[in-house]
Structure 1
Amino acid sequence: MLDYSYLVLHLPRGTSRDAARQILTEHAEYGDWELDRLRLYPDGRRDVRLRRKIIRVTRTM
């Protein structure tokens, strides 16, 4: 079974589309995060939830 770690980002309404894309791209490239959920509100703010797999090492002995 896969376990995930989550990161929630709150982007204010003044954040441009290109700036939001750049932030998410950096998290994906350098932190191995992937987009789980993005919510865009009518006033322009965004709530983004990112996730990444947790790798657990099991003992083989």
Structure 2
Amino acid sequence: MTRTTAMQELSELSPQLPLNVLKDIDHRVSNWLARGGDENDPYIWQQVRYAKNYIAATFYGQDMSF
């Protein structure tokens, strides 16, 4: 059984995020990895939570008009 990595989760969520949010997450993740972090560290999972929370808070991509 393989577990989904944080980077895989971010990749799956990316189509639901606007460009400015993607750039912010990419910048944070790139800096983390450049400083020796691992792509499955808790910090990267925090970025996954941020992406999920953003999607949930904005209902991005869904027609919410009544």
TM-score w.r.t. structure 1 length? 0.33
Compare CA radii of gyration and give the structure with the larger one: 1
- Give the strand-richer structure, 1 or 2: 1
TM-score (norm 2): 0.32
